[in-house]
Amino acid sequence: MEQAAANYPQWVAAISGKLGEETDQGFVLQQPGVQVFEKKAKTPEEKNSSETT
């Protein structure tokens, strides 16, 4: 995620794993995984076409 923040103007991350034991602050995430993707801005043409469909 640090690399994504340094290399991409916009990015998103998908976090996966199994819900584990409950804690006072939430829960433990077992077998965690993170995938980071560059979020590319839509061109004005793409924005217009998505609004009409």
* pLDDT tens profile 10-45: 999 999 999 999 999 999 999 999 999 999 877 777
Total count of domains within the chain: 1
DSSP state of 10: S
DSSP code string of 11-34: EEEEEEEEEEEEETTEEEEEEEEE
Is the per-residue pLDDT at 8 higher than 60? Answer: yes
Mean pLDDT of 3-13: 90
SS3 state of residue 8: coil
> What domain range includes position 13?
2-52
